[in-house]
Chains A and B, each alone.
Chain A
């Protein structure tokens, strides 16, 4: 008898957050890209499916597809 199905469901997904990044450079190895998070930090992810300068979704260090270009609004709460 379960009372918190949604939490169980989320638990089955594991820690796999999806992030939106901007592609900075497609590396010469033909497999990886340098991407930048909204806070300015950069990392290397697998995949070159999105052109440089555009936005992409990443998950678990892998580029999984193009994302809309988002300009974040700062909200104080």
Chain B
């Protein structure tokens, strides 16, 4: 029989008097298990040491270019013991990241001018060269492409081997070589000319082996001549605007010279692109900020903006004395330093006819000019304002007129067009308000059977004025297409120079079509790509279909 034994009283093991050794709370020892690996210490040490030796190699790789990152990443995925040295290496790499990014950015910046130089200036050069020598290989398309490729390859080789060519290409220079037999075409190529073809140009050039034109762009404050160091410039003008307008990117270092916020009045500046100067007053600006860069875009108009309602007081007038139209315009610019040049029909305006309310001088002159269909144009770099007919030559006479210039198909670097429409009216009544002299203006050779709306203008009081107005109204409603051609702008006497507004051009397209049109707007752009500068003029040419 089993005797019942009362269990011993429960003693909390956590209660100690200090001298006991409490065995149960000692964690189990695995000395035997620990010792066992130590018997393999040599092998483990070898395995441990080996990656540490490799660590130096990885570190060297980290210091080298980014393209070895894959190797480092594979190393990171191996023994964890290598974490510390990799951490160091990675930290070092991030420290170097900015420098490496700069290096990459620098490389891209260098790439742009080379691309640009090999694409644009050489394209121009090929065209001009082909034009200069009346190149037979320019006519077939495949020959043209072959020529372009050859010149492109030559440009690349030249830039690699010649400091001069590289420097010229970086500046966007244009290079021309006098007419002669090309060395590379001695084999299999027969020059069709024994003497240079005569292009009819009256210009005489010095006999030099190579002609180089490097584009230039400057902008200075007229008072004092401080340089603004422009980055790029766009200058716009059109036949309906009385002034030129400017948009210019510039660095922050020179912005204070023209800042409209700190200068008491608009600062007059002179912008010169490839030797052609324009004067402007700076009237507004935008500042452009982004990480690591800041720039300004300033805008301005011709100095004649001082005669606009933005800067000149308006007035109300009733002219009670007889004056010619040109005199009325002169009165508006009296004592301003400006000169009116009336390049349009002039006629006598009876006293009591010319009147206006609250107009600035420019608007008052425009009122006189508009009565005969004329518009105003400020000379680019002098204090002269011209009043000119919008169409100096009626479009129906363009075919028999002498064009200002002939633009061959090889000259434009870009072309586009927009159909405008129109119905070619051939007659119009132009009446005054307070005179008995009216006119029915019709296109010669037509019966005026397609008349347009009558015009009644208080200032058109004589037949010459009415005829001038009628021409402009009929011309403006012709069936037309706005053609856009982008031409280089070369410094005088090189051609093409700056083509003026209203110029009649004869243009030959690549398909051989020849047509005539009038320059209605022009935009001169000077842009930099790296160190290379490109100056171009974009012409909007109105071509009419009658």
Residue ranges of A at the interface with B (Cβ–Cβ < 8 Å): 1-7, 9-10, 17-20, 37-39, 57, 67-77
Q: Are B429 and A73 in contact (CB under 8 A)?
A: no
Tell me, rounded to whole Å, the shortest Cβ–Cβ distance linking A1 to chain B: 6
Tell me, rounded to whole Å, the shortest Cβ–Cβ distance linking B263 to chain A: 16
Q: Are A73 and B240 in contact (CB under 8 A)?
A: no
- Residue in A1, A57, A76 whose beta carbon sits within 8 Å of that of B442 in the complex: A76
Residue ID in chain B nearest A38 by CB atoms: B429
For the complex with contacts A10-B370, A57-B456, 8 further pairs of A-B residues with Cβ separation under 8 Å are A4-B242, A5-B362, A19-B456, A20-B438, A20-B454, A20-B456, A75-B466, A77-B442
In the bound complex, residues from chain A placing their C-beta under 8 Å from that of B243 are 3
Q: Are B440 and A77 in contact (CB under 8 A)?
A: no
Tell me, rounded to whole Å, the shortest Cβ–Cβ distance linking A10 to chain B: 8
Given contacts A75-B463, A75-B467, contact A70 B437 (CB under 8 A): yes
Contacting residues of chain B (432-488) with chain A, CB-CB under 8 angstroms:
432-445, 448, 451, 453-456, 463, 466-467, 470-471, 474
Query: Which among B243, B443, B456 has the greatest number of chain A C-beta atoms within 10 A?
Result: B456
Given contacts A67-B433, A75-B470, contact A5 B366 (CB under 8 A): yes
In the bound complex, residues from chain B placing their C-beta under 8 Å from that of A67 are 431, 433
Q: How far is the CA of A58 from the CA of B325 in the complex (A)?
A: 27
> Would you call the interface of chain A mostly helix, strand, loop, or mixed?
mixed
Q: Are A77 and B366 in contact (CB under 8 A)?
A: no
Q: Does B241 contact A (CB under 8 A)?
A: yes
The 8 A-B residue pairs whose C-beta atoms are closest, nearest first, are A6-B366, A70-B438, A3-B241, A72-B438, A76-B444, A18-B456, A72-B440, A19-B454
In the bound complex, residues from chain A placing their C-beta under 8 Å from that of B370 are 6, 10
Interface residue tally of chain B, by bracket? 35 or more
Q: Are B431 and A70 in contact (CB under 8 A)?
A: yes
Q: Are A38 and B433 in contact (CB under 8 A)?
A: no
Q: Does B394 contact A (CB under 8 A)?
A: yes
Q: Does B131 contact A (CB under 8 A)?
A: no
In the bound complex, residues from chain B placing their C-beta under 8 Å from that of A70 are 431-432, 435-438
In the bound complex, residues from chain B placing their C-beta under 8 Å from that of A3 are 241-243, 245, 301
Given contacts A4-B242, A6-B366, A39-B429, contact A74 B301 (CB under 8 A): no
In the bound complex, residues from chain B placing their C-beta under 8 Å from that of A57 are 433, 456
Given contacts A3-B301, A5-B363, A19-B456, contact A77 B438 (CB under 8 A): no
